[in-house]
């Protein structure tokens, strides 16, 4: 069911959300389960989005602000997609506006402190992009350049 094993969990003001990728014929889904009693019981899964079948997830993370970010395959490399939860519904899939996120992406994590700090690897170096709550990406920098 969960082809590449990528998953994460976050605490969203008391609601735990677990996320995973699910490959089905013709699509790759991002799924979520939620718990409002500290993980004693869970509801779901809920399909957050459907990506193209070839869009294998290389990393998934959540900043705990009713969000999920993921690094996934696109033609020519990887990109970052994200969805936000508001009013009881998940948003459409938004994508990073900074072009490709590398050719061989592996791993992604997110910190939220009023803005989103998204860190990922292209298999050689670590990168950081900062996104405002309004969705504008303000910074891209290499935080751990490739070692020789």
pLDDT in tens for each of the 148 residues of the chain? 555 568 899 999 999 999 998 888 888 899 999 999 999 999 999 999 998 887 888 889 999 999 999 998 887 778 889 999 999 999 999 988 776 666 677 789 999 999 999 998 887 888 898 998 888 887 678 888 766 5
pLDDT of residue 96: 83
Note whether 52 and 96 are within 8 A (CB): no
pTM summary value: 0.90
pLDDT score of 3 = 55
CB 47 within 8 A of CB 55: no
Structure confidence at residue 99 (pLDDT): 67
Chain centroid to CA 143: how far? 19
User: What gap in Å lies between CA 80 and CA 58, rounded to an integer?
Assistant: 10
Question: Could you give the maximum distance between any two Cα atoms of the chain, in Å?
Answer: 48
Residues recorded for the chain: 148
pLDDT at 94: 92
- Residue 135 to residue 94: CA distance in whole angstroms: 9
The residues facing 128 across adjacent strands are: 119, 141
Show Cβ contacts of residue 146 under 8 Å, excluding neighbours closer than 6 positions.
Answer: 124, 125
Task: Find the angle CA(6)-CA(124)-CA(79) to the nearest 5 degrees.
Answer: 50
Instruction: Report how far residue 7's alpha carbon sits from residue 9's, in angstroms, rounded to the nearest whole number.
Output: 7
Cα–Cα distance for residue pair 47/32, rounded to 1 Å: 7
Residue 27 has phi, psi (to 5 degrees) of -155, 160
Q: What is the pLDDT of residue 6?
A: 80
Q: Provide the pLDDT for residue 135.
A: 82
Q: Check residue 147 and give its pLDDT.
A: 67
């Amino acid at each position: 069911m969960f082809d590449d094993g990528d998953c994460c969990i976050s605490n969203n003001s008391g609601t735990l959300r677990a996320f995973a990728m699910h490959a089905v014929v013709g699509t790759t889904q991002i799924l979520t389960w939620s718990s409002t009693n500290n993980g004693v019981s869970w509801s779901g899964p809920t399909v957050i989005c459907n990506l193209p079948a070839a869009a294998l997830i290389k990393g998934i993370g959540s900043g705990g602000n009713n969000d999920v970010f993921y690094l996934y395959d696109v033609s020519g490399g990887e990109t970052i997609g994200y969805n936000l939860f508001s009013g009881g519904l998940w948003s459409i899939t938004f994508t990073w506006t900074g072009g490709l996120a590398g050719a061989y992406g592996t791993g992604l994590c997110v910190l939220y402190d009023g803005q989103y700090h998204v860190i990922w690897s292209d298999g050689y170096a670590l990168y950081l992009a900062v996104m405002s709550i309004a969705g504008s990406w303000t910074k891209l920098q290499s935080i751990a350049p490739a070692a020789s």
